């Protein structure tokens, strides 16, 4: 009898322990192994700080340039004249023309969405705009949504766009900047924990800019209804994972402590109350805490900053070994991190596709290849193609 109850108790304990143990973040410090089996094919050069890209149904590619131009790549050639119809942007520091995304039903409505920084140095904000793309020209652009908080300086605008399967649009908004940038008498970055602010959030919108009534804080008196998740510093990689129904987001830390998160509606991702990141000014800890009840731990932490920008879930068949994995671009690391995931989204390992330029965005093309744009004054569009493991990725 005693033995049976002891056995029962130990079974209960084992079940409780294994179900309640939080998954530990996958912590990366220093270099990771180099990935092989691909070659880099530079399609286009001479792009000025390209930021985002998307494909038209005919296979042509639209690419934003941060200073405020939209470019067209037709059959792997850059069309010389920029596309007309982009509004004036706040072209300063990290601000400018940022992401671009076609509406999921583009073939019916010809609508293109883009994000940009708007305003002047002492008062600016991220906007989402939409225009009709016809005859290789943008027409009738209009502001769909803008951040309510005006900030100063030229840091942390976000702003990636991702369409959800239900037709709503996610947009990431940065926390407003590093100290000494202030708002309401305190560091502006603390707005990431203020649900009445759009700063440091992922927002969820309808395509017309109205707010979906099933947003997590829609009926909440102490929150902006557009807020979908909060406690983010500056998300510049955002992707919907159709295999696992997960929204993945990569965000910049300050000095180290970059993160990959699996983001869910209504959750708090901690910044700046909980972080592995350190102050730029003196290297001191921004918070003594790296984890806290009520706040969600990251899936991956890069102690050594990669400065993540651009994120893709690989669902194609050109690289069978990479199927189902995440590809996170790195500005500072000048590589793309392959995050090897199992079917549930658990991290198995990490490797690096060395690019040798600041990676601003990485996306899977409709042809199943991976495409990369690089954040340089003479930036490139690069296609990654399969190659033998013995071949150098830099081979012509
Ligand atoms: Ca976090």
Assess whether pLDDT exceeds 80 at residue 6: no
Q: What is the pLDDT of residue 393?
A: 82
Q: What is the dihedral of CA 305, 309, 313, 315, to 10 degrees?
A: -120
Tokens standing for residue 288: 């003594």
Q: Which has the minimum average pLDDT: 4-18, 64-78, 159-173, 296-310?
A: 4-18
Q: Is 337 helix (H, G, I), strand (E, B) or coil?
A: strand
pLDDT in tens, 331-373: 999 999 999 999 999 999 999 999 999 999 999 999 999 999 9
Residue 96 pLDDT class (50, 70, 90 cuts)? very high
270's tokens: 């901690």
* Interval 290-340: pLDDT, tens: 999 999 999 999 999 999 999 999 999 999 999 999 999 999 999 999 999
Q: What is the pLDDT of residue 264?
A: 98
User: pLDDT (tens digit, 9 = 90+) per residue, 173-205?
Assistant: 999 999 999 999 999 999 999 999 999 999 999
- Does the pLDDT at position 3 exceed 60? no
Q: What is the mean pLDDT of residues 150-168?
A: 98
20 pLDDT tier (thresholds 50, 70, 90): very low
Of 359 and 16, the one with more pLDDT? 359
Catalytic residue (choose from 156, 198, 232, 252): 156
Contact between 181 and 254 (Cβ < 8 Å): no
CA of 157 to the centre of ligand 1 (A): 17
Residue 60 has pLDDT above 70, yes or no: yes
* The dihedral formed by the CA atoms of 249, 253, 257 and 263, expressed in degrees to the nearest 10: -20
Whether the ω angle into residue 135 lies within 30 degrees of 0, i.e. cis, is: no
Distance from the CA of 233 to the center of ligand 1, in angstroms?
Answer: 8
Average pLDDT estimate for 157-161: 97
Q: Distance, CA 360 to ligand 1 centroid (Å)?
A: 21
Is 232 a residue of the active site? no
Q: How far, in Å, is the centroid of ligand 1 from the Cα of 172?
A: 14
- How far does the centroid of ligand 1 lie from the alpha carbon of residue 255, in Å? 14
**How many Å apart are CA 259 and CA 347, to the nearest integer?**
13
308 CA to centre of ligand 1 in angstroms? 14
Q: Ligand 1 centroid to 114 CA: how many Å?
A: 26
Yes or no: say if 248 and 326 are a contact pair by the CB < 8 Å rule.
yes
For residue 7, is pLDDT > 70?
no
- Antiparallel, parallel or unpaired: β 97-102 and 111-120: antiparallel
CA distance 338 to 45: 24
Phi (first) and psi of residue 12, to 5 degrees? -60, -45
Give per-residue pLDDT as tens, 269-291: 999 999 999 999 999 999 999 99
**303 C-alpha to ligand 1 centroid (Å):** 13
Q: Report CA(83)–ligand 1 centroid distance (Å).
A: 38
How many angstroms separate the alpha carbon of residue 310 from the centre of ligand 1?
A: 18
pLDDT tens, position by position, 200-222: 999 999 999 999 999 999 999 99
Question: What is the average per-residue pLDDT within 88-98?
Answer: 98
| Contacts of residue 156, Cβ cutoff 8 Å, sequence gap at least 6 | 94, 174, 175, 176, 177, 178, 233, 234
- For residue 15, the model assigns a pLDDT of 44
Q: How do beta strands 300-302 and 308-313 pair? A: unpaired
How far apart CA 325 and CA 288 sit, in angstroms, is 32
**Tokens 């189902």 — which residue?**
324
pLDDT score for 390: 87
Which are the contacts of 220, defined by CB distance < 8 A and separation ≥ 6? 195
Rounded-to-integer distance, Cα 100 and Cα 210, Å: 19
C-alpha dihedral (238, 254, 372, 91), degrees to nearest 10 = 90
């Amino acid at each position: 009898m005693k033995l049976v109850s002891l056995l029962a108790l130990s079974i209960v304990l084992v079940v409780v322990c294994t179900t309640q143990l939080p998954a530990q973040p996958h912590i990366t410090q220093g270099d990771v192994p180099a990935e092989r089996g691909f070659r880099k094919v530079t399609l286009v050069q001479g792009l000025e700080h390209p930021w985002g890209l998307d494909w038209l149904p005919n296979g042509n590619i639209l690419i934003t340039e941060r200073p405020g131009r939209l470019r067209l790549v037709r059959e792997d050639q850059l069309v010389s004249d920029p596309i007309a119809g982009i509004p004036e942007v706040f072209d300063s520091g990290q601000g400018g023309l940022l992401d671009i995304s076609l509406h999921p039903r583009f073939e019916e409505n010809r609508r293109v969405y883009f994000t940009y920084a708007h305003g002047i140095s002492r008062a600016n904000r991220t906007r989402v705009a939409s225009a009709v793309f016809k005859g290789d020209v943008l027409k009738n652009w209009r502001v769909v949504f803008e951040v309510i908080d005006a900030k100063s300086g030229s840091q942390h605008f976000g702003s990636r766009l991702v369409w959800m399967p239900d037709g709503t649009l996610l947009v990431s908004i940065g926390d407003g900047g590093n100290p000494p940038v202030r708002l309401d008498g305190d560091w502006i970055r603390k707005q990431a924990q203020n649900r009445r602010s759009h700063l440091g959030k992922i927002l969820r919108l309808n395509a017309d800019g109205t707010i979906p009534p099933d947003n997590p804080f829609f009926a909440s008196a102490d929150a902006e209804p557009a807020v979908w998740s909060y406690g983010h510093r500056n998300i510049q990689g955002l992707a919907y994972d159709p295999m696992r129904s997960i929204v993945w987001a990569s965000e910049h830390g300050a000095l180290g402590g970059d993160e990959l998160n699996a983001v869910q509606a209504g959750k708090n991702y901690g910044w700046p109350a909980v972080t592995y990141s350190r102050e730029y000014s003196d290297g001191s800890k921004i918070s003594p805490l790296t984890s806290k009840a009520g706040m969600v731990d990251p899936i991956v932490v890069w102690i050594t900053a990669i400065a993540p920008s651009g994120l893709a879930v690989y669902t194609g068949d050109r690289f069978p070994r990479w199927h189902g994995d995440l590809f996170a671009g790195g500005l500072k690391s000048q590589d793309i991190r392959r995050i090897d995931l199992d079917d549930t989204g658990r991290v198995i390992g990490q490797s690096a596709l060395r690019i040798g330029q600041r990676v601003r965005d990485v996306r899977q093309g409709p042809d199943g290849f991976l495409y990369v744009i690089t954040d340089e004054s003479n930036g490139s569009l690069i296609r990654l193609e399969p190659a033998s493991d013995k071949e150098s990725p830099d081979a012509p």
